[in-house]
Amino acid sequence: MNRKKIVFVTQNKNKVFDAQKLLPEYEIEHIDKNVPEIQSLNLKEIVDFKLKYAYQIVGKPCFVMDASLFLDCLNGFPGPFIKWWFEKTVGEEKTCQIAKLFDEYACRWTTVLGYFDGKKAYFLEETIRGKLPDVPRGTNGYHWDTLFIPEGETRTFAEMSFEEKQSYAVTKKLFIKLRKIIK
């Protein structure tokens, strides 16, 4: 049986792995391209730019994703600047120290998925609330999974199995919505 192919434009191989596990009925065609991210506080605007750029590269229906982490102790910062925050400057240890300094650990994780079918763009958004740990914990997952404890849990995403994480994480919810659009 031939599976329907969908194109995912990302340099993040972990996101591709997640898509392959969560969308087993589709063949995920991975286009490994650096898609520029505009700097904006508007998540849809960021994903819209990435999606238009990606479609110009592949010339066929495709999807992109972008995640943000909003820290309550910093009035929502870094939000969509989390990649720069996490990978280039502050990192996971100092993020926990900042929350500890303010004694405010609440945060939220929002991911936006953009899909363009060649005629219409779709923007899907999911948010989960949680908190930061005192120190980064766990070895599973990627990005800031070591920093995020979903509401109702005591473990970070990085301390959970893939299946446990997906019972909380937004990715599975986004892919359920994407399925409905693609069908």
C-alpha to C-alpha distances, 48 to 17, 37, 44, 86, 162, nearest whole angstrom:
23, 10, 6, 23, 28
Which residues are identified as catalytic? Answer: 66
Each residue's pLDDT tens digit, 51-88: 999 999 999 999 999 999 999 999 999 999 998 898 88
Each residue's pLDDT tens digit, 107-153: 999 999 999 999 999 999 999 999 999 999 999 988 889 999 999 99
Q: Which one is predicted more confidently, 98 or 88?
A: 98
Nearest to 9 by CA among 32, 27, 26, 28: 32
Residue 40: left if φ>0, alpha if ψ -120 to 50, beta else—which one?
beta
What pLDDT shows up at residue 152? 95
- Helix then strand then coil, % of the chain, to nearest 5: 40, 25, 35
Each residue's pLDDT tens digit, 26-40: 999 999 988 888 999
Q: Give the confidence band of 17 by pLDDT, cuts at 50, 70, 90.
A: very high
Nearest to 109 by CA among 139, 140, 65: 65
Q: Which residues of 3-30 are buried (b: 16+ CB within 10 A; e: fewer)?
A: eeebbbbbebeebbebbeebbeebebeb
Looking at the chain, list the stretches that DSSP marks H as alpha helix, in order from N- to C-terminal side: 13-22, 43-58, 82-84, 91-102, 162-166, 170-182
Each residue's pLDDT tens digit, 153-168: 999 999 999 999 999 9
Helix (H, G, I), strand (E, B) or coil at 131: strand
What pLDDT shows up at residue 1? 57
Model-level pTM?
Answer: 0.93
Percentage above 70 pLDDT, the chain: 99
